[in-house]
Amino acid sequence: MKLADLHLHTIFSDGTYTPQELIEEAKRVGLSCIAIVDHDTVSGIEPVLEAARSEGVEVLPGIEMTVEYDGLEIHILGYFIDYKNKDLIEKLCDLKKNRIERIYKIVDKLKDMGIRLEAEAIFDIAKQGTVGRLHVARAMVKGGLVNSTSEAFGKYIGDKCPAYVLGFKLSPYEAIKLIKDVGGIPVLAHPYSLSRNELIPKFIEYGIMGLEVYYPEHTRTKINSYLALAKKYNLLVTGGSDCHGSAKPEVKIGSVKIPYRLVEKLKEAKDKF
């Protein structure tokens, strides 16, 4: 049976796999199809498509967009976006700058807590990638300020922690519209992280077309409840590992594998657009 992992990150956001490594790893674990969904960027799509050429792994172009809603950080996936669209690229350029400014704010908050970390140390790790908290956590480990990235999230930069900065520009409605405007299918990422289940119908109202039902943190009970919701609201079903390479070594590529018929359903929805 053909299997897919539709949630993968690369060096173009906060993952550590280069396009070539991503394709090699996908083949090694027996995936027929993968989706690249880097945070707020499409820069990695073409290089991954190029690396996959004649390697026998199908690559779906995608993105994972961060939005802010009611004080919460929420992630929305977009599959089959036209990643060459000028308006999209311009918007993403804005978001990239916004993320850089956010790093300086995080650094200031850490300083208030007596933690000295230079913003440059974070940018050095992120390199060309859209910079985010996983880079902050890695810089803290490298600087000997914490023993692990989990400790960095647990004590300092995790949601609701003292050095956490929200500050994302897009609302769910705007991100969903942006994805749809460039022919993409918006899917609510890892719904367990929403903490408030009643938000799901709200996002459906905003135009979400799918739910990321299969995800490492989703228990069988959660999966069943999301499947029931998907059925009730006629939503597409997706899934993936959210692998970030060695930045999160415990989350392996292909640790969530979904049947290819779910990819076919996505494609049918795309064709009806």
CA 53 to chain centroid: 24
The nearest distance, CB 90 to ligand AMP, in angstroms, is 20
Residue 251, C-beta contacts closer than 8 angstroms, at least 6 positions apart: 216, 241, 242, 243, 244
Contact assessment for residue 252 and residue 241, using Cβ atoms and an 8 Å cutoff: yes
Tell me which DSSP letter residue 131 carries.
P
- Measured from the Cβ of residue 159, the count of other Cβ atoms closer than 10 Å reads 13
Q: Toward Zn ion, which CB reaches closer, 5 or 64?
A: 64
Q: Toward ligand AMP, which CB reaches closer, 132 or 184?
A: 132
Q: Toward ligand AMP, which CB reaches closer, 60 or 106?
A: 106
Task: Assess 75 for contact with Fe ion (CB under 5 A).
Answer: yes
Tell me which DSSP letter residue 175 carries.
H
Q: Which residue is nearest to ligand AMP (CB)?
A: 132
The nearest distance, CB 189 to Fe ion, in angstroms, is 5
Q: Can you tell me which of 242, 245, 254, 256 binds Zn ion, judged by CB under 5 A? A: 242
Contact assessment for residue 115 and residue 145, using Cβ atoms and an 8 Å cutoff: yes
CA atoms of 30 and 133, how far apart (whole Å): 30
Q: Which residue is nearest to Fe ion (CB)?
A: 75
Positions in the binding site for ligand AMP (CB under 6 A)? 14, 39, 66, 73, 132-134, 149-150, 153, 158, 244
Q: Which two tokens stand for residue 2?
A: 């053909």
The nearest distance, CB 9 to Zn ion, in angstroms, is 6
Residue count, binding to Zn ion (CB under 5 A): 2
Residue 188, C-beta contacts closer than 8 angstroms, at least 6 positions apart: 74, 76, 77, 194, 200, 203, 208, 210, 211, 212
Task: Assess 14 for contact with Fe ion (CB under 5 A).
Answer: yes
The nearest distance, CB 64 to Zn ion, in angstroms, is 5
Binding mask 3-32 for Zn ion (x = CB under 5 A): ------------------------------
Q: Toward ligand AMP, which CB reaches closer, 73 or 174?
A: 73
- Considering only the stretches 16-24, 55-63, 69-77, 140-148, report the one whose residues sit in contact with Fe ion under the rule CB under 5 A: 69-77
Q: Which residue is nearest to Zn ion (CB)?
A: 242
Residue 243, C-beta contacts closer than 8 angstroms, at least 6 positions apart: 5, 7, 8, 9, 15, 17, 251, 252, 253, 254, 255
CA distances from 241 to 55, 62, 70, 184, 216 (A): 21, 15, 27, 21, 6
Q: Select the binding partner of residue 133 from Zn ion, ligand AMP, Fe ion, none (C-beta < 5 to 8 A, by kind).
A: ligand AMP
Q: Select the binding partner of residue 66 from ligand AMP, Zn ion, Fe ion, none (C-beta < 5 to 8 A, by kind).
A: ligand AMP
Residue ranges that bind Fe ion, judged by CB under 5 A: 14, 75, 189
Residue ranges that bind Zn ion, judged by CB under 5 A: 64, 242
